[in-house]
Amino acid sequence: MVVVCDEELLGKKFKNGEFRLDVKEYFYKGEKASVEDCLVALRNATIGNLVGSIVGHAVKAGVIERENVLRFQKVPHAQLVRL
């Protein structure tokens, strides 16, 4: 499992209608990594959870399809599952 979010989003909560996204530090906080390192990890992952700018990078890299991106108060969020 690869979990990636922008550092400034840690601890914040966002809404999209009745849905909520809680960027909890215990889940999202970890080691800092470059965009390239994150994309390499995501290409090899079976499960991924992305919040923030990494979503756009993952779309450009072909890791996430644009139609699978949700927005919570303009913050992009995507999940990845490979079987």
Share above pLDDT 70 across residues of the chain, in percent, rounded to a whole number: 100
* Structural domain boundaries in the chain: 2-81
What pLDDT score was predicted for residue 78? 98
d(CA 51, CA 3): 8
What pLDDT score was predicted for residue 24? 97
**3-state helix, strand and coil shares in percent for the chain, rounded to the nearest 5:** 35, 35, 35
Phi then psi for residue 71, to 5 deg, are -125, 130
Q: What is the CATH number of domain 2-81?
A: 3.30.1860.10
d(CA 15, CA 64): 21
d(CA 38, CA 49): 11
Reported as a single tens digit per residue, the pLDDT across 8-38 is 999 999 999 999 999 999 999 999 999 999 9
Strand partners, 15: 20
